[in-house]
Amino acid sequence: MAAETELASQDEGGTRSRIRDAAVRRFGRDGFGAGLRAIGADAGVTAGLIIHHFGSKDGLRRACDEHVLELLRSAKEEAVTDGSTASMMARMAEVEEFAPIVRYLLRSFQGGGELAAAMAEHMIADAETYLAVGEAAGVIRPSRAPSARTRYLAYQNIGSMLVWFTLHPDDGDDARFAASLRAYVETIAFPAVELFTQGLFSDRSMLDDYLMYVPDPPSGDDSV
């Protein structure tokens, strides 16, 4: 009896994951107006079973948000703590695997509203955590204003993706979106790596002048 209960629990978890993953793909492709029947067809279940597992369409979206954020958090933390060229190249080689996640995030931000704002704030909070992990690992330089730096990097990243995919629409084609994602990564990879590793300005005079100008500058070590 205990074994049967465990197997049933595992099956329930597998069905829930299958529905969630199908919803991430469908919401990313068609937007959040996509119906439960379409998601159910993708997952091989009924709309009623989706309600059984998630309570409502909003509950399903919350589960999708949490899943996407967790995948993103895990990938980013690995990237900032490893810092090796081999690891970076491996992630670039597998970039298409992240297409459903990226597409879902884009749909969230394009939709706007409270859910998009909440998604952005969760991403920023997660990013501040894994950047701190990167600092502790000696891979990332410390900042006088870590929260502000994190928010700037998040806005920069989200904004560049929104511009790219607006200018390169996929028209609902999964393969076309994946190809566009690879093109985006290959376009920004070198300038991003160069900027993050070498910096942009030849000296820090602009920072020093700015710190003298602002009335309440962030504190920090002069070596930052």
Ramachandran bin of 173, using left for φ above 0, alpha for ψ from -120 to 50, beta for the remaining angles:
beta
The dotted CATH code for 1-55 is: 1.10.10
Average pLDDT estimate for 121-131: 90
For 154-181, the DSSP string reads HHHHHHHHHHHHHHS--TT-HHHHHHHH
Q: Which CATH number fits domain 64-213: 1.10.357.10, 3.40.50.1820, 3.40.630.10, 1.10.1370.10?
A: 1.10.357.10
Q: Please check whether residue 23 is in contact with residue 39, taking contact to mean a CB–CB distance below 8 angstroms.
A: yes
At residue 8 the predicted structure's pLDDT band, cuts being 50, 70 and 90, is very low
Domain limits, the chain = 1-55, 64-213
Verdict on whether the full-model pTM lies above 0.85: no
Residues 6+ apart with CB under 8 A from 152: none
Residue 51, pLDDT > 90, answer yes
Structure tokens at 143: 């900042």
State how far the Cα of 134 lies from the Cα of 142, in Å rounded to an integer.
Answer: 9
Percent of the chain with pLDDT over 70: 87
Judged by DSSP in three states, 215 sits in coil
